[in-house]
Amino acid sequence: MRRSSVVLFGMGVFIVLSLVERGRLPTFVAGLFPLAGYLMGAWIATTCLKGHRAAWWLLPKLGLLLLLIGAGCAAILFLAVDEESLSFEPPRVTSADKRRLADILEHPTRTDDGCKRLCLSEYDANLLLAMTVPQLLPQGKARIRLDRGAIRGDLSVTTAGSSRWPRWVNLQTTCPAAVTDGQLEVRIEQCRVGRVRVPTVLLDAFSTALSTAILADPDLEPLLAAIRRLRVQPDGVELVYEGGDFGDKVIPSLLARLTQRPDVVETTRLYIRHLVHSAEALPDEDRLAGFLETAFRLAEARSRVGDPVLENRAAVLALAILLGHWRVETLVGPVTDHDLRASARQHVGRVALRGRRDWCQHFFVSAAVAILSNESVSDEVGLLKEELDAGKGGSGFSFSDLLADRAGTLFALAATRDEPSAQRVQARLAAGAAIDEIFPPAADLPEGIADPQFEAEYGGVGGKRYLEVIGEIERRLAACPALR
């Protein structure tokens, strides 16, 4: 009888507090976790009141309970994560798409009562979605499908820092939605996360909480009030709105996103942070391939809404700063800070190309110079070359270093030549391309050649033997698919 009284008392307190706070009775789901916590606390307290022996027996019971809860959560997580993403690809946002969408947003039609009317097809809606998701989830993708009065959404987000063993959280949902004279009608009808179907009672509770949160948001309230009608049909979305906040804030914000030209410095900073944060998860072996894959997976994802040439420029410059030489940052602009540099020293380490750190430096410094090359950086480039050569103790002329320089230059040109070339490089490296695709074997090339020997055996720069070796270098480079 005592236990039932405790339970009834706790439920009564919870209901009273909910009425005072929200002015209405709590739903079953809303009260589930508070009541569960209360009941556990009441159980522990009443057990302890029975004496020391009962209190000691409580410990293994609590341990077993926590173990069961942990096992249940682990099972749900296992079922919620898939080995593959959902089988769809978001549309690539081209410059022509951006111009067309901007024209639609800038020139809405007028209704008879003076409101503005926008109509977007399912493809247009997915273009706008594709512009947003990579900014929030660089390794995610999403799409929507329109039905009569409902939106079906698919979202895939990878849980791995590297794609060696990727795992995906796949979300599929159906959500009837509409707005009539500022009144929002939204309800999550179905939702599946991986192999887990979310119970309807939880979806109803979440839908109610979502609607309440939107209506209570002081920033969203005037935006909703400006919408006269939002209708979802299989052939598109119709939006009728008054001027006000929606026309003054939302539409200009979308136009700014469509027409902006991101700065390469800020974009390079983003890539450096992403690479440093991903470095710890990369395998100890073949780290260079891991860095390339990580950088160009991000470039490929961001290019769905941006300029693939710009994204590749930023990716190459970030790699050059982290794997080539710190002085590249003086050519690009300030893209790191003290904490980021300290984290890079800890997690990035000394990355080698075919077992040679100096080749890695030559490759990426040359790639950065090819992207940034102009008269204003010539002095800095000279300092870079001096420091790289000084690190080898002035060991003489090296054809292998020359190959590394040339490979880096060709790599940068292929990655940033134009949109089709940039996209081809992204696709190849994001899929985990082998080092052979960007750098041929070089260990057998002559190096450490002193000046007298260089003149005697190779005829100096432009000599017959020199040109023969250069020809061999060019043939090897031509065989690398990612350098074409």
The predicted pLDDT at position 11 comes to 62
C-alpha Rg value of the chain to the nearest Å: 30
Burial category of 349 from C-beta neighbours within 10 Å (exposed 0-12, middle 13-18, buried 19 and up): middle
The predicted pLDDT at position 375 comes to 34
Phi, psi of 361 (to 5 degrees): -65, -50
Sign of the CA dihedral running 476, 477, 480, 484: negative
Q: What's 25's DSSP letter?
A: P
The rounded distance, in Å, linking the Cα atoms of 409 and 361 is 12
**H or E segment and range at residue 399:** helix 399-416
Sign of the CA dihedral running 416, 421, 423, 424: negative
The predicted pLDDT at position 261 comes to 46
The predicted pLDDT at position 263 comes to 64
Give the Å distances, CA to CA, from 60 to 40, 80, 214, 481: 15, 30, 44, 62
Give the Å distances, CA to CA, from 156 to 122, 134, 248: 19, 12, 33
Tokens of 150: 């409902």
Query: Side chain identity at 84, as an amino acid letter?
Result: E
Identify the residue whose tokens are 């027996």. Answer: 57
The predicted pLDDT at position 440 comes to 93
- Write the DSSP assignment of 173-208 as a string of letters: EEEEEEEETTEEEE---EEEETTEEPPHHHHHHHHH
The predicted pLDDT at position 70 comes to 85
The predicted pLDDT at position 270 comes to 92
Per run of 10 residues, the mean pLDDT along the chain (length 484 residues) is: 59 62 56 68 74 77 82 84 86 78 84 86 87 72 90 85 67 89 84 89 79 70 80 89 69 59 76 92 86 94 86 94 89 84 88 91 90 52 48 69 90 91 93 89 88 84 86 92 88
The predicted pLDDT at position 74 comes to 85
Ordered by start, the domain boundaries in the chain are 2-82, 95-259, 264-483
The rounded distance, in Å, linking the Cα atoms of 311 and 430 is 13
Distant-in-sequence, close-in-space partners of 282: CB < 8 Å, separation ≥ 6: 161, 162, 290, 291, 294
The predicted pLDDT at position 4 comes to 60
The predicted pLDDT at position 10 comes to 61
Tell me the angle at which helices 122-136 and 95-106 cross, rounded to the nearest 10 degrees. Answer: 110
Give the Å distances, CA to CA, from 4 to 50, 70, 206, 270, 441: 17, 28, 30, 58, 78
* Long-range residue pairs from 185-193, CB within 8 A, at least 24 positions apart, any chain: 186/210, 186/211, 186/214, 189/150, 193/80, 193/169
Contact 271, 335 (CB under 8 A): no
The rounded distance, in Å, linking the Cα atoms of 129 and 90 is 9
Identify the residue whose tokens are 């390339």. Answer: 292
The rounded distance, in Å, linking the Cα atoms of 112 and 123 is 28
The predicted pLDDT at position 90 comes to 86
